[in-house]
Amino acid sequence: MDKREVWLDGHKTAFRYRDDSLNPLLQKAMTRKAIFITKDSVIDWIELKSSAPTHTHVGILKKSEENYWSLFELSSNAIVTLNLRGVVTSINEAGEKMMGYSKDETVGKPVWKLGHLPVKEIPKYKKILASAIRGEMPKPFEATWYRKDGTPYVVEIQPSFLENNDKRVGFQVVIRDITERERVKKALDESEERFRNTFENANDCMIYLDKTGRITNVNRKAVEVFGGSKKEVWGKHFTKLGVVSPRDIPRLISSFAKILAHRSDKQTILSIRIKNMKGQEIPLECSSSIMKKDGKITGVLIVAKDITEHNENRRGIKRIRAEAESHVSFVS
């Protein structure tokens, strides 16, 4: 935060950035420090200078401290303060609810004896405290804690120094419960992993095209059918692969444009014959569907089925049928 020292000037006190723009955050003074407080957490400190203390100054500071503790209690995030030995000196209501421990059960106890930390990680937290005492405050980090009833939950921890008269007297820790966010993220990751596995191991060719017709991804079967490698396919426009007959290209372009223009999720079926990079001719039956994100079209998914075996079976059936009819005619 780009800040500068400012003078305390009675009720007209204003905290400004170096460019003289007013700080839009809520500003409260504590002793000779001003504390920046947002809705949920303490952001930073700024040094105040004053000439001689006056009754006005004392009144402002007292009122500001009262406001700070009011915000401390009303914060939706848990806030815990510690002294330099790691002993809890205060905890707000949100902290009591989050951890499951009352003020009587927490204040006056070393933070690692509350029961919310995994036993095997206590040495790590003691090491963090020791580093903080030396002035090496850690960046915000995530961890898994346990409520009083043993329920695990995931938190984001933001520690900062507490100072009084230019001396560090302790630490303030803002704790945000991100359990639900992490649950949703994990579910999405698992869903994406299942989809990637399905996509990659599908028996049919699967090709992603962006809205311009460039190939953004292909699965293993598509690489096998095209006869090249992913590197040879990715990033190319579908008309530039060199596997589609020139006479089919106008039909494919027209079909692609119609899919995007109709903005429909309904599949479109199209039969084409390609000559792959190995010179093999392969008949494909292609279906396409619109891909969307947040309601906006991002591209098209093409599923192409190699119908070589299907066509051979159909020809075999026709041959058998013709032979049977010929035999019947001969008998007659």
Per-residue pLDDT tens digits for 141-154? 999 999 999 999 99
Count Cβ atoms below 10 Å from residue 101 Cβ, excluding itself.
20
Spatial separation of the C-alpha atoms in residues 162 and 313, rounded to whole Å? 80
Last residue of a domain, one of 56, 74, 92: 74
Residue 161 belongs to a domain? yes
- CATH code of the domain covering residue 151: 3.30.450.20
Domains contained in the chain, number: 3
Convert the pLDDT of each residue in 307-319 to its tens digit: 877 666 666 666 6
Residue 322 pLDDT class (50, 70, 90 cuts): low
Question: Is pLDDT at 33 greater than 60 in this prediction?
Answer: no
Provide the pLDDT for residue 37: 38
Q: What is the mean pLDDT of residues 93-122?
A: 93
Question: Is pLDDT at 68 greater than 50 in this prediction?
Answer: yes
Provide the pLDDT for residue 45: 39
Q: Highest-confidence range of 75-79, 101-105, 188-192, by mean pLDDT?
A: 101-105
Residue 332 belongs to a domain? no
Q: What is the mean pLDDT of residues 183-187?
A: 90
Residue 209 belongs to a domain? yes
Last residue of a domain, one of 145, 165, 199: 199
Whether residue 193 is found in the same domain as residue 272: no
Whether residue 39 is found in the same domain as residue 91: no
Whether residue 176 is found in the same domain as residue 231: no
168's enclosing H/E stretch is strand 167-177
Residue 331 belongs to a domain? no
Percent share of the chain, pLDDT over 90:
39
Whether residue 166 is found in the same domain as residue 116: yes
SS3 content of the chain, % helix, strand, coil (to 5): 40, 35, 30
- Identity (one letter) of the amino acid at 183? R
Spatial separation of the C-alpha atoms in residues 79 and 40, rounded to whole Å? 9
Whether residue 23 is found in the same domain as residue 139: no
Question: Is pLDDT at 49 greater than 80 in this prediction?
Answer: no
Whether residue 100 is found in the same domain as residue 53: no
Question: Is pLDDT at 304 greater than 70 in this prediction?
Answer: yes
Beta-ladder partners of 283: 273
Q: Which residue has the higher pLDDT, 51 or 310?
A: 310
Spatial separation of the C-alpha atoms in residues 102 and 95, rounded to whole Å? 9
- β-pair type (42-49, 6-7): parallel
Whether residue 229 is found in the same domain as residue 294: yes
Whether residue 103 is found in the same domain as residue 213: no
Residue 322 belongs to a domain? no
Last residue of a domain, one of 164, 199, 234: 199
Residue 10 DSSP symbol? G
Whether residue 194 is found in the same domain as residue 215: no
Residue 58 pLDDT class (50, 70, 90 cuts): very low
**Range(s) of the domain holding residue 28:** 1-74
Q: What is the mean pLDDT of residues 165-186?
A: 91
Residue 145 belongs to a domain? yes
Cα angle value 259/262/264 (rounded, 5°): 80
Whether residue 219 is found in the same domain as residue 306: yes
Residue 317 belongs to a domain? no
Whether residue 251 is found in the same domain as residue 167: no
Question: Is pLDDT at 157 greater than 70 in this prediction?
Answer: yes
Provide the pLDDT for residue 101: 93
Residue 59 belongs to a domain? yes
**Rg from Cα positions in the chain:** 34
Whether residue 280 is found in the same domain as residue 210: yes
